[in-house]
Structure 1
């Protein structure tokens, strides 16, 4: 049995979909009804990292697990690894972050991920670490303003990031969960080129067939927007990450996706083409902009 945590999230759902047919797969989520609808034939299970009993139920009979946690400075990894060890899990593939390798990165999120990695290494189970750059899917945060205003707004629009398609991360996870030879390895995952937000805006405009405007946000504007969504320490960590990106810390490209999967990493253009509907105005939105609604 393979357990996938965060099974309905951006990466987790692609891991579930990518696992070969014939394997027994359990999808852990807070909403098992949603998982049941998304993944016919997969066993959905309710799981909460703060609930030891729910973790024990989710891990019963599991030999390999994909671990994805999101709450910085919380002991979700430690709770899961303890329960997994007790349940007899033999292999854990952990989603971490490329920033852990950057000696200049000392923000809350990076320190948390480093601690999580260390706990996994010390767990006694076979481990594999996946360290992606930013997800290409982060650009979906622009979708509403692209649809309604033909505008992308972002901080440091000319700073490059070798962002990666979440599907490539998921395929790497599937390989590590189902193949031998990945235990004790840490893989940095990037896209095939470093792109800026301005570059991504141009690519979206090309695919949409319409001009888009890029609007540079100030750090204060970005902080105010982030404060509506995250705790203060997380906001400051995200801003520190943006400063490191502006300094070029996230521009390096790795060929790991090709080495793991046998094919090149997907480009941003490929990701955007497959998700262009999110950026395309519905007829009523287009009509409203023209003043004909």
Structure 2
């Protein structure tokens, strides 16, 4: 069995490759740096997707970019047995509430192409990734004990990328999820203020979340090089969750036979991400 993994060095792709290798599968990892990606021994590393001889393909739309449709067509042409698409829990929402689209994700299109490909398919729809939070907050935490952002009461149910990878491995290795759009979340709805409290507890620091006007947040994103459309979509997404808890599903536990990883556990295991300067 050969499984092609696109986005093989990303937050989901890397643990997915590791899990597939442990399962004894031959992995064909697509990476811009073949031989230099730090992947496990025995992984076949290629600079572009090769579907010939593959049993299944994991589709990451950001990694594939404009090649997404061609890869799906190639999978059908070469008789690939299964496509597993990485989508998002909000893939059906208006584009103005999908900030990741402005960073290259095409979750809706990835799912639609897989479902219409003529190849058996699964779509994974995760909620916000846990690694998004050090990405947004680490610089502020290094600078002091206040994390400033929009909507302190906005609710999210962050999911650990390793949990997404574990479900993806199950989807690739078995037929249990064929034809399903699987919503994946963390085990708990948490507000921005509660998330910062958890990080503070992990770091043994008196961190607090300070709500600031949305326009201030928007300008900060733009000053940091993000498109204005990303900032607007991020703020709109949070604004929708101010008065109600985030959706929490139990699909991770049903599929893996164990609970999804709590944010507190993930933050404890990855505390350095919040304090170390990233290169």
Pick the aligned partner of 2:111 from 112, 117, 123.
117
Output aligned runs, 1:1-293, within 5 Å. Answer: 1-19=2-20, 20-35=22-37, 37-47=38-48, 55=49, 58-70=50-62, 75-102=66-93, 105-107=94-96, 109=98, 112-141=106-135, 142-227=137-222, 228-248=224-244, 251-280=246-275
Q: In terms of Rg, which structure is larger?
A: 1
Q: For residue 291 of structure 1, what is the aligned residue in structure 2?
A: none
Which TM-score applies when normalising by structure 2?
0.87
Deviation at 1:33, TM superposition (A): 3.1
Distance between the aligned counterparts of 2:97 and 2:271, measured in 1? Answer: 34
Distance between the aligned counterparts of 2:26 and 2:276, measured in 1? Answer: 40
Q: Let me know the Cα RMSD of the aligned residues.
A: 2.3
Distance between the aligned counterparts of 2:12 and 2:172, measured in 1? Answer: 14
Range moving further from structure 2, 110-119 or 20-29: 110-119
Deviation at 1:232, TM superposition (A): 3.8
Range moving further from structure 2, 171-180 or 211-220: 211-220
Deviation at 1:245, TM superposition (A): 2.8
Distance between the aligned counterparts of 1:191 and 1:83, measured in 2? Answer: 34
Deviation at 1:166, TM superposition (A): 0.9
> Would you say the 8 A contact 2:125–2:181 is kept in 1?
yes
Q: Which has the higher helix share?
A: 1
Distance between the aligned counterparts of 1:279 and 1:81, measured in 2? Answer: 37
Distance 1:31 1:217, change over 3 A: farther
Distance 1:225 1:38, change over 3 A: farther
Structure 2 residue runs without a partner (length 5+): none
Distance between the aligned counterparts of 2:120 and 2:63, measured in 1? Answer: 24
Which TM-score applies when normalising by structure 1?
0.83
Post-superposition Cα deviations, 1:198-240, rounded to whole Å, max 9, x if no partner, equal 1111111111112113232322222223324333434433332
Deviation at 1:247, TM superposition (A): 4.8
Range moving further from structure 2, 167-176 or 60-69: 60-69
Query: Which contiguous aligned blocks of 4+ residues in structure 1 show a shift greater than 6 angstroms?
Result: none
Aligned residues: 268
Deviation at 1:75, TM superposition (A): 4.2
What secondary structure is seen at the aligned counterpart in 1 of 2:148? Answer: strand
Range moving further from structure 2, 259-268 or 223-232: 223-232
> Would you say the 8 A contact 1:156–1:216 is kept in 2?
yes
